[in-house]
Amino acid sequence: MGVEEKYRYFKRLLIFFLAVMVIRLWHLQVIRGDELRRLSEQNRIRIQKVYAPRGMIFDRKGRILADTRPSFNLYIIREDMRDFDETVNGLAKILNIEREEIVEKLSLSRDMPPSFPVKIKSDLTMDEVAKVEAHKVYVPGVVIQVEPKRYYPYGETFAHMIGYVSEISNEELKTHKGYSPGDYIGKYGLERIYEDYLRGKDGERRVEVDATGREIRVLEVNEPVPGNNLYLNVDLDVQLAIDKVLEKRRGGAVVLDVKGGGVIALVSRPGFDPNRLVSGIKKEEWAQLMTDKNYPLQNRVIQGRYPPGSTFKLAVALGALEFGVIDEKTSFFCSGGLYFGNRFFRCWRERGHGVVSIHKGIVESCDVFFYNVGLKLGIDRIHEIAQTLGLTDLTGIDLPNEKRGFVPSSEWKLRTFGQKWYEGETISVSIGQGAVWLTPIGMASLASIIANEGTMYKPQLVNRIVSPDGKLIKTFVPEVKRKVNISKRSLEILKKAMWGVVNEPNGTAFASKTQIAEMCGKTGTAQTTSSSKGSKGDHAWFVAFAPFSDPKIAMSVIVEYGGHGATSAAPIAKIITEEYFKDLKSVKEARAFDR
Partner 1 sequence: MIDKRRLHHLDLYLIANVLAIFCIGMFNLFSATSSFGSKTFLAKQIFAFLLGSIFVLILLYFDYRTFVSNSFYFYVFGLFLILLVFILGVVISGAKRWISLWGFSFQPSEFMKPVLVILLADLIKENIKTNSPLGLKDVLKPVLFTLFPSVIIAKQPDLGTACVLLLLCLSLLFFAGMKKGTLVALLSGGFLLAILAWKYGLEPYQKMRIMGLVNPDLDVTGFNYHAKQAMIAVGSGKLFGKGYLSGTQHRLNFIPEHHTDFIFTVIAEEWGFFGSIFLFALYASLILRLLKISKETQDEAGSIIAFGCASVIFWQFVINVLMTLRLCPVVGIPLPLLSYGGSSLISTLLLVGLALNVDMRRYMF
Between 14 and 103, CB nearer to partner 1: 14
Q: Is the distance from CB of 241 to CB of 255 less than 8 angstroms? A: no
Helix (H, G, I), strand (E, B) or coil at 61: coil
For position 103 contacting partner 1 by CB under 8 A, the verdict is no
Nearer to partner 1, 24 or 176 (CB): 24
Residue 286 binds to partner 1 (criterion: CB under 8 A): no
Name the segment binding partner 1 (CB under 8 A); options: 40-48, 181-189, 233-241, 312-320.
40-48
Instruction: Write the DSSP assignment of 449-505 as a string of letters.
Output: HHHTTSEEEPPBSEEEEE-TTS-EEEE----EEEE----HHHHHHHHHHHHHHHHST
Other CB atoms within 10 Å distance of the CB of residue 278: 22
Residues in the chain, how many?
595
**230 bridge partner residues:** 57, 465
d(CA 415, CA 403): 21
- Closer of 83 and 104 to partner 1 (Cβ): 83
Binding test (CB under 8 A) with partner 1, winner from 30, 126, 137, 592: 30
Q: Report the residue from 67, 79, 101, 237 that binds partner 1 according to the rule CB under 8 A.
A: 79
> Could you say which residues in the range 326-355 bind partner 1, by CB under 8 A?
none
Instruction: Please identify, among the stretches 47-55, 203-211, 437-445, 475-483, the one whose residues bind partner 1 according to the rule CB under 8 A.
Output: 203-211
Question: 310 an active-site residue?
Answer: yes
According to the binding rule CB under 8 A, does residue 218 interact with partner 1?
A: no
- Residue 22 in contact with partner 1, rule: CB under 8 A: yes
Considering only residues 128, 167, 202, 208, which one is a binding residue for partner 1 as defined by CB under 8 A?
208
Restricting to residues 44-63, which ones interact with partner 1 according to CB under 8 A?
Answer: 44
Residue of 97, 103, 146, 216 that binds partner 1 (CB under 8 A):
216
Q: Residue 7 interacts with partner 1 (CB under 8 A)?
A: yes
DSSP string, 403-449: ---B---HHHHHHHHS-PPPHHHHHHHTTT-SS-BB-HHHHHHHHHH
| C-alpha to C-alpha distance for 316 and 429, rounded to whole angstroms | 9
Contact with partner 1 (CB under 8 A): which of 12, 14, 346, 487? 14
Between CA 161 and CA 397 the distance in angstroms is: 11
- Name the nearest CA neighbour of 138 among 72, 75, 82, 213: 82
36 binds partner 1 (CB under 8 A): yes
Would you say 92 or 443 has its CB closer to partner 1?
92
Q: Is 10 in the site for partner 1 (CB under 8 A)?
A: yes
Site stretch for partner 1 (CB under 8 A), options 18-26, 433-441, 536-544, 553-561: 18-26
Residue 104 touches partner 1, criterion: CB under 8 A = no
d(CA 119, CA 73): 7
Tell which one of 52, 81, 436, 558 touches partner 1 (CB under 8 A): 81
CB distance 500 to 359 below 8 Å: yes
| Given 71, 109, 166, 310, the catalytic residue | 310
- CA proximity to 53, closest of 63, 64, 42, 61: 64
Residue among 169, 212, 288, 335 that touches partner 1 (CB under 8 A): 212
Check binding of 69 to partner 1 (CB under 8 A).
Answer: no
Q: Which of 12, 62, 84, 220 binds partner 1 (CB under 8 A)?
A: 84
Stretch that binds partner 1, among 79-87, 232-240, 389-397, 399-407 (CB under 8 A): 79-87
CB 449 within 8 A of CB 455: yes
408 in Cβ contact with 434 (< 8 Å):
yes
Q: Is 346 helix (H, G, I), strand (E, B) or coil?
A: strand
As to burial, measured by CB atoms within 10 angstroms (0-12 exposed, 13-18 middle, 19+ buried), residue 306 is buried
**Closer to partner 1 by Cβ: residue 84 or 422:** 84
Stretch that binds partner 1, among 81-89, 456-464, 494-502, 540-548 (CB under 8 A): 81-89
> Closest CB to partner 1 among 84 and 333?
84
Give the strand pairing for 229-232 and 57-58: parallel
The correct pick among 12, 33, 69, 536 for binding partner 1 (CB under 8 A) is: 33
With respect to partner 1, which residue has the nearer C-beta, 212 or 506? 212
Residues in a beta bridge with 147: 71
Nearest distance in Å: CB 141, partner 1: 9
Residues 6 or more apart from 367 whose CB is under 8 A from it?
Answer: 310, 334, 345, 346, 347, 348, 431
20 binds partner 1 (CB under 8 A): yes
Q: Is 192 in the site for partner 1 (CB under 8 A)?
A: no
Give yes or no for residue 113 binding partner 1 (CB under 8 A).
no
E strand segments, 318-413:
332-334, 337-340, 343-346, 354-356
Piece of 23-31, 178-186, 254-262, 562-570 that binds partner 1 (CB under 8 A):
23-31
172 binds partner 1 (CB under 8 A): no
254 contacts: CB under 8 Å, gap ≥ 6: 263, 265, 266, 267, 301, 440, 441, 444, 459, 555, 556
**209 lies in the binding site for partner 1 (CB under 8 A):** yes
Q: How far is the CB of 84 from partner 1 (least distance, A)?
A: 6
The count of residues interacting with partner 1 (CB under 8 A) is: 43
Amino acid at site 55: G
Cα separation, 301 vs 558, in Å, equals 8
Name the DSSP class of 306. B
Among 12, 24, 346, 489, binds partner 1 (CB under 8 A): 24
Name the segment binding partner 1 (CB under 8 A); options: 36-44, 165-173, 319-327, 386-394. 36-44
Residues at the site binding partner 1, with contacts judged by CB under 8 A: 1, 3, 6-7, 9-11, 14, 17-18, 20-22, 24-26, 28-30, 32-37, 39-41, 43-44, 78-79, 81-84, 114, 208-212, 216
Cite the active site residues: 310
